[in-house]
Amino acid sequence: MFDVTRYAVAADAIVEAGRFLYQRGWSPATSSNYSARIDERHIAITVSGRHKGRLGAGDVMVVDLAGRPVQSQCRSSAETRLHTVLYELFPEVGAVLHTHSVKATVLSCLLPPGQPLTLEGYELQKAFVGVDTHEGRVQVPVFDNSQDIDALAEQTRAWFRAHPEQPGYLIRGHGLYTWGRTMDDCLRHVEAFEFLFECELETMRVRP
């Protein structure tokens, strides 16, 4: 069982994140899914198919780390396993956000297959937890899109087990996943990625 007060705090953070991300244009047309940890065995996550700019408490449900609904008849996000894998791998993670921005989508399609996006030399890399200089490298793997979410989840588990310090990934033609200790950390990561994706796209435009 989970603590109802902790669920309410997690649901509020998710609803508020949805308003912000929709308003920025990063979660259009019912796309995206968001989650926040309740305890070591449960997370709050968006119900599948809901409009992320108009979420209410009934649009957030509880699942366990196997992705099974707890006290809900609703269907959780179709991508629930992509969230739970991260909570399983990283006990310190408190929130996961998946967004569908134009820049993340276009950039993921322009990157050569099999090659991660390497971000280096940007001061804004310091927005990621654990990064304190522009001189390091942030590696963003790009996984091919798939409707087989369990298979995709296992690919992400293997990659991030080997690269635990990296803050997010792209799915080609689909969007971004990133996480953090708190929802605020996670929202900052989304904003930082969006800025850096725009820099990469602009660089490709002026220096093809």
Nearest residue to ligand MRU by CB is 77
Q: Which stretch binds ligand MRU (CB under 6 A): 55-63, 72-80, 181-189, 195-203?
A: 72-80
Q: Does 25 bind ligand MRU (CB under 6 A)?
A: no
> 77: which 2 tokens?
């996000």
Q: Does 30 bind ligand MRU (CB under 6 A)?
A: yes
> 137: which 2 tokens?
């490298």
**Separation between Cα atoms, residue 137 and residue 25, nearest integer Å:** 27
Q: How far is the CB of 99 from ligand MRU (least distance, A)?
A: 8
Q: Does 156 bind ligand MRU (CB under 6 A)?
A: no
Distances (CA, A) of 189 to 1, 40, 57, 159, 204: 31, 23, 24, 19, 22
**Separation between Cα atoms, residue 71 and residue 62, nearest integer Å:** 7
Q: How far is the CB of 74 from ligand MRU (least distance, A)?
A: 11
Size of the site for ligand MRU (CB under 6 A): 13
| 122 dihedral zone (left: phi>0; alpha: psi -120 to 50; beta) | beta
Tokens 């244009």 sit at which residue? 25
Is there a binding annotation on residue 51? no
Sheet of 60-64: strand order equals 69-70, 60-64, 42-46, 33-37, 95-99, 175-180, 168-171, 142-143
- The 31-50 contact track toward ligand MRU, x by CB under 6 A, reads xxx------------x-xx-
Which CB sits closer to ligand MRU, 42 or 125? 42
> Which residues are annotated as part of the binding site?
98, 100
Q: Which residues bind ligand MRU (CB under 6 A)?
A: 29-33, 46, 48-49, 77-79, 98, 100
Q: Which positions make up the binding site for Zn(2+)?
A: 98, 100
